[in-house]
Amino acid sequence: MSKKLGRSTIEMENAPVIRASATVVGKKEGEGPLKEEFDLINNDTSFSQETWEKAESEMLREAVQTALQKASLNSSDVEFIFAGDLLNQCIGATYGLREFQIPFIGMYGACSTMAESLAMASIFVDNGLASNAVAVTSSHFCSAERQFRFPLEYGGQRPPTAQWTATASGAAIVGTEEVSGMNVYVRSVCMGTIQDLGITDANNMGAAMAPAAAWTIKTFLEDTKTKPSDYDLILTGDLGQVGRDLLLELLLKDNISISEQHDDCGLILYDRESQDVHAGGSGCGCSASVLCSQILRRMRAGELNEVLFMATGALMSPTSVQQGESIPGIAHLIHLSTRKGGN
């Protein structure tokens, strides 16, 4: 059985294994620094579909199908699938996954959904409720822009604090059975609380999410009685440059320095100098695609042994933004390790 540690950390007794992972991305992501890491790059951003929303569903479907193939599993071998995206009613996931006929648990944590879904999949496996569970998320630049900001045809100017929503999907299969070679285990998860700095600008997501990231990191370190230097990498989801700077500043107020260990998926996915993404990447697919490609690959290669993966989300809707509400943030954390137990 999983065990509660401190305020909000859950320790995995049996340390579930990430059996396989897969990433599917669009053209812009395939031109970035991680282009050699992805399973599939589709230069057709529409993924041969009639709408951007259908394109996102197709991208998510392909990510799950690829992950199953890499794990040598059929959909019937998976007991639960935890999935979400940025679209209303999570239609990217529901329409993309309906053909698999796997018991489906839809999740919405905004851009934190990859950590949220991975946490739930791990808890289910650790407690014997499933032998295999899938965690998957997606985002698409065009579908997100249409829902949260303006139609693409509007051509609105983006301020320096704006981030680029990734056209990407990442899927991870969590199970009980170890794989050959180096295994990656889920050792614990830390579920965040809603934090609100009072940001109302929908083009400044990094600042809105940074307080939640700071709370979750601080709480996890306190719950586990560890320190930043115990980890090879502390990876946030998609704070971008603005959010990263604010996160480091907030943590220093509590005498916590993570600058030597920290990186951000929103700064890894793109080349900010040449790809014109302003403050960096964002979206559910941003952290999912970085984790399910480069990070897990580096762990399986032994380059990284202890990783804290934390996806951050801005819990807004088009309606709340139009009504002038502030944008609350959330951050969930996953402790990944190449060691099943011990320090």
Q: Which CATH number does the domain housing residue 203 bear?
A: 3.40.47.40
**Assigned domain for 239 exists:** yes
Over 90: is that where the pLDDT of 77 sits? Answer: yes
Question: End of a domain among 149, 175, 201?
Answer: 175
Same domain, 169 and 205: no
Confidence at residue 237, expressed as pLDDT on a 0 to 100 scale? 87
What is the structure's pLDDT at 164?
A: 75
Q: How confident is the model at residue 159 (pLDDT cuts 50, 70, 90)?
A: low
Q: Are residues 199 and 266 in the same domain?
A: yes
113-130 per-position pLDDT tens digit: 999 999 999 999 999 999
What mean pLDDT is reported for the chain? 92
Q: Which residue has the higher pLDDT, 82 or 164?
A: 82
Q: Has residue 342 been placed in a domain?
A: no
Give the separation between CA 238 and CA 263, rounded to whole angstroms.
Answer: 10
- Residues 117, 28, single domain; the answer is yes
72 CB-near residues (< 8 Å, 6+ apart): none
**Residue closest to 337 by CA, chosen among 187, 232, 235, 220:** 187
Residue 156's pLDDT band, with cuts at 50, 70 and 90, is low
Q: Is the pLDDT of residue 155 over 60?
A: no
Are 81 and 18 in a shared domain? yes
206 against 69, higher pLDDT: 69
Cβ atoms of 20 and 181 closer than 8 Å:
no
Q: Determine the residue type at 67.
A: A
Given this model, what pLDDT does residue 202 score?
75
| pLDDT band, residue 134 (cuts 50/70/90) | very high
pLDDT attached to residue 273: 80
Domain count, the chain: 2
In this model, does residue 17 exceed pLDDT 70? yes
Same domain, 10 and 114: yes
**99 found inside a domain:** yes
- Give me the mean pLDDT over the 215-237 stretch: 97
The answer to whether residues 229 and 296 belong to one domain is yes
Domain boundary among 154, 175, 196: 175
pLDDT at 161 exceeding the cut of 80: no
Banded model confidence at residue 201, pLDDT cuts 50, 70, 90 = confident
Tell me the pTM: 0.94
Same-domain check for residues 129 and 27: yes
Cβ-based neighbours of 71, under 8 Å, separated by 6 or more: 19, 20, 132, 173, 175, 179
Residue span of the structural domain in which 284 resides: 185-337
Percentage of the chain with pLDDT > 90? 76
pLDDT band at 308 (very low <50, low <70, confident <90, very high): very high
Q: 69 and 205, same structural domain?
A: no
Residue 144 scores a pLDDT above 70: yes
Instruction: Indicate whether 139 and 54 sit together in one domain.
Output: yes
Residue 231 reports pLDDT greater than 90: yes
**CA distances (Å), 166 to each of 15, 90, 122, 283, in order?**
30, 16, 25, 6
Q: What's the pLDDT at 149?
A: 60
> 144 with 199, same domain?
no
37 band by pLDDT with thresholds 50, 70 and 90: very high
74 is a domain residue: yes
pLDDT in tens, 239-252: 988 999 999 999 99
Q: Specify whether 308 is located in the same domain as 257.
A: yes
Q: What pLDDT sits at residue 103?
A: 98
Q: Does the structure show a pLDDT above 60 at 3? A: yes
